[in-house]
A = this chain, B = another copy of it.
Amino acid sequence: MRNDSRLSRMLHVLLHMARHDGPMTSEAIARMLGTNPVVIRRTMAGLREAGYVRSEKGHGGGWALCADLGKVSLLDVHRAVGGPRIFAIGHEHKNPDCAVEKAVNDALEDALQDAQALLIARLGAVTLAQLAQQFDAHCKAAPLS
């Protein structure tokens, strides 16, 4: 499979929405991300269920933020898009008969678990508001780069 880019894409969209007055259509968002509206609706459905955005039909409809960006972390978005699978590597049998296999799996699990905990801590420590702020600071510091 390709890389799962749902988290990356949704963060991108949410930051744009924060700077945008009024709702954005799936069509416009899809153009922005270089994809198509159905993928946007599918992915953003998770954000809606989590209460971070809402969607409206009809004229003037589309997607709008309905959460405090300071209260939503990158980890929250990761979870909202239903992306639990972080690693591309792992093992096959959850409860192997072979004791050697079990020992190997445990050792690997241990290392993977620590790496996952670090990643989750990092994602949980940054809010969308902070990410937007970092972006602004960077723009001000190097406006032409």
Contact = CB atoms under 8 A, between A and B. Distances in A.
Contact of A126 (B6, B9, B83, B107): B107
A36 interface: no
Assembly stoichiometry (copies) = 2
**Secondary structure call for the A interface:** helix
A100 B99 CA distance: 49
A131 B109 CA distance: 13
A129 interface: no
Interface of A: 1, 3-9, 11-12, 15-16, 32, 34, 74, 78, 83, 85-92, 98-101, 103-105, 107-108, 110-112, 114-116, 118-119, 122-123, 126, 131, 134-135, 138-139
